[in-house]
Amino acid sequence: MDIVANLLIGFGTALSPANLLYCFVGVVLGTLIGVLPGIGPVSAIAMLLPATYALPPVASLIMLAGIYYGAQYGGSTTAILINLPGESASVVTTLDGHQMARKGRAGVALATAALASFFAGTISTLILALFAPPLALLALKFNSHEYFALMVLGLVGSIVLASGSLLKGLGMVLLGLLLGCVGTDVETARERFTFGIPELSDGFGFVILAMGIFGLGEVIKNLEDQTSKDVVAKKISGLMPTREDFRRMLGPSLRGTALGSVLGVLPGGGAVLASFAAYSLESRISRPPEGFGNGAIEGVAAPEAANNAGAQTSFIPMLTLGIPSNPVMALMIGAMLIQGMQPGPLILQQQPGLFWGIVASMWIGNVMLLVLNLPLVGMWARMITAPYHLLYPAILVFSAIGVFTIAGKEVDVYFLALFGVLGYVFAKLECEPAPLLLAFILGPMMEENFRRAMQLSQGDPTSFLTRPISGALLAIAAVGLLVALAPSIRAKREEAFDE
Amino acid sequence: MKNPKDLWAGLLFLGFGLAAIAISSVSGYEVGSARHMGPGYFPIWLGGSLALVGLVLAGKSLATEGPPLGQWALKPLVLITLGTLLFAGTVNVVGLAPAIVVLVLLSSLASTHFKLQWAIPLALGLAVASVLIFIKGLGIAVPAMPLLLGY
């Protein structure tokens, strides 16, 4: 069996002492970030990115991946103990998880979250191992037309699946594409929108944009409302779920894993959407005796399984097509580019050790998280009580140093401040920044492929529709957009995001 | 104003779109043809589409109801932006440690929980930690505090 041989290569890479260490550092940092409310995985990864420049490529990706799925574990701890999502993928876990904690079942809720996450992590790692190779083979047949169509689909997906108004999503995508135009035009070497600033001839740095909009913007937004939160970090006892609990969490975990795996692959999907969808699906299927919202174990298991599964499978399009499905994956692509690797279908053939090493390390990381989280949960619970007014100056310091160390240029930090203001304005106007970030990273690739495709087809735009794969991808994008625009679905969509 | 969030978002998009078109035309980015696109082709199309989206969004906002904009967090916005800008302006001149102290003290002022006896140790702690991690540990080429430390 191919997959066994491949996984053996992967475990060979991932089990080296250095890589185990980086995986461990990654999941610990991820858990910490997930636990602390107010720092999301995007700004955290952006902040820690400079620290990975010196690492070998495999190690840096293993560590960054660990931060991402570690944050899913940590986020649930905060959600359950203090009714605040540690990060956005655990928003729904607050509903039933915190109720369980109030009924004295905090330990069981935490264990359920960890076990469901681990279960989902194991299955979705297998899915990644099974589906990535055929997808990469298919992607090798792709030409400029298909790549352009795929990116259009990705951006449409990010608009449809993002919360808020479709029109605003579209505007954010267009703005992101425009920001991506800043810099030197690849074909004509003509500088665009650089205003004579030499540092802009390579365009805005992705990390700067991400850290400004997500990091600084988030901090300013958080300082808007400074009412203190009540912390109910009681002593946690009774971690072990009963046999009845196990029986009740099995179905929801399975359904959550399935739903999360599918939604993670979709462009614009990932952990956040997966957790919401799994909770609303579960609330239609299950009939817990206490009802949802009153501490039903199903309401913890399903979204926690889904967000972890979604976090893992969102690596599939990133590693096989080079196309990010969410901002975290866009940052991963940024990290790979900095390491001199071009993410895409060739990675699997040229660097099987890297690809399978990351896959294997994900499973190892999940084991570490399970082992780490259950016994250490008391320590994480204490971390939650770290007051935000001491935390955010540290976030600012690390953001500023992180951006400064990318190239040792003050200009980059000025841009960071600029994007921080922009990020806060977006937050005030309820403009979801994720589509902008995706468009920004896809923009240059999209323009290049579009121009090449048009050259190849003698300036005939219908060639995008007549080529089978690109035609099909664009048709899916069109259907997606039309469906989202249909009034009945629109009402449902708004309802779904309100829940 | 019934839907200020949409109105301002629309105007923001409109402004960015028009600016893109204006800069492209003033700087003379060639548009080219569909077969051979010049550097101006993509930005002008994007700018035009963005302006259109902004116009529609702003127009629709006049007819729909929406939540109010709410208070702007002006103090945090100004202090954090100013702190970051000052950090950038001073880091290569006075060194990393003083630049961090300035950033931390300024940004701490934005919190309603601000207390000097908390902010000063925090600023000093972060400055020392950063010098140890980034300059001593990772070897980043930036002065720590030339005035006092000599490096």
**pLDDT bracket for residue B46 (50, 70, 90):** very high
- Look at residue B108 and tell me whether its pLDDT is greater than 90: yes
**Contact criterion met (CB < 8 Å) for B42 and A165:** no
53-112 in B: which are within 8 Å (CB) of A? 53-54, 56-57, 60, 69-73, 76-77, 80-81, 83-85, 87-89, 91-92, 96, 100, 103-104, 107-108, 110-112
CA–CA separation, A113 vs A96, rounded Å? 11
Distance from the Cα of B26 to chain A's closest Cα (Å) equals: 11
**Contacts with B34 from chain A: Cβ below 8 Å:** 454, 459, 461
**Number of residues written out for chain A:** 499
pLDDT at A182: 92
Long-range Cβ pairs for the range A129-132 (8 Å, 24+): A129/A3, A129/A6, A129/A7, A129/A356, A129/A359, A130/A3, A131/A316, A132/A316, A132/A319, A132/A320, A132/A348, A132/A355, A132/A359
**Contacts with B58 from chain A: Cβ below 8 Å:** none
Overall average pLDDT of the A363-385 stretch: 81
Pairs of residues, one from chain A and one from chain B, whose beta carbons lie less than 8 Å apart: 183
pLDDT at A487: 62
Highest mean pLDDT among A29-33, A39-43, A85-89, B4-8 belongs to: B4-8
pLDDT at B102: 94
**pLDDT bracket for residue B103 (50, 70, 90):** very high
Nearby residues of B113 by Cβ (< 8 Å), 6 or more positions away = A226, A387, A389
**pLDDT bracket for residue A347 (50, 70, 90):** confident
- Look at residue A386 and tell me whether its pLDDT is greater than 80: no
CA–CA separation, A179 vs A387, rounded Å? 36
- CA closest to B38 among chain A residues: A188
Task: Please give the backbone phi and psi of residue A46, each rounded to the nearest 5 degrees, phi first.
Answer: -60, -40
Q: Name residue, tokens 């202090």.
A: B79
Overall average pLDDT of the A4-9 stretch: 85
A201 within 8 A of B58, measured Cβ to Cβ:
no
**Contacts with B42 from chain A: Cβ below 8 Å:** 177, 181, 447, 450-451
Model confidence over B110-124: pLDDT tens digits?
A: 988 888 888 999 999
**Contacts with A458 from chain B: Cβ below 8 Å:** 35
CA–CA separation, B77 vs B119, rounded Å? 18
**Contact criterion met (CB < 8 Å) for A417 and B36:** no
Taken in order A448, A326, A12, A120, the sign of the CA dihedral is: negative
Nearby residues of A276 by Cβ (< 8 Å), 6 or more positions away = A91, A92, A303, A496, A497, A499
**Number of residues written out for chain B:** 151
Query: What is chain B's alpha carbon radius of gyration, rounded to the nearest angstrom?
Result: 24
pLDDT at A3: 78
- Average confidence score pLDDT of chain A: 84
Token pair in block for residue A239: 């971690």
Nearby residues of A439 by Cβ (< 8 Å), 6 or more positions away = A155, A158, A172, A173, A174, A175, A176, A177, A180
Q: B36 and chain A: CB distance < 8 Å anywhere? A: yes
A121 within 8 A of A309, measured Cβ to Cβ:
yes
B102 within 8 A of B87, measured Cβ to Cβ:
yes
Overall average pLDDT of the B19-35 stretch: 88
- Look at residue A445 and tell me whether its pLDDT is greater than 90: no
pLDDT at A271: 76
Identify the three-state secondary structure at position B32.
Answer: strand
Distance from the Cα of B108 to chain A's closest Cα (Å) equals: 6
Instruction: Out of A119-133, A258-272, A441-455, pick the least confident.
Output: A258-272
Overall average pLDDT of the A414-421 stretch: 95
Number of Cβ atoms within 10 Å of the Cβ of A375: 9
**pLDDT bracket for residue A496 (50, 70, 90):** low
**pLDDT bracket for residue A295 (50, 70, 90):** confident
Distance from the Cα of B149 to chain A's closest Cα (Å) equals: 20
Number of Cβ atoms within 10 Å of the Cβ of A106: 26
Q: Which of B38, B107, B140 lies closest to A396 in CB terms?
A: B107
CA–CA separation, A432 vs A435, rounded Å? 7
Nearby residues of A257 by Cβ (< 8 Å), 6 or more positions away = A119, A120, A123, A124, A305, A306, A309
Q: B50 and chain A: CB distance < 8 Å anywhere? A: yes
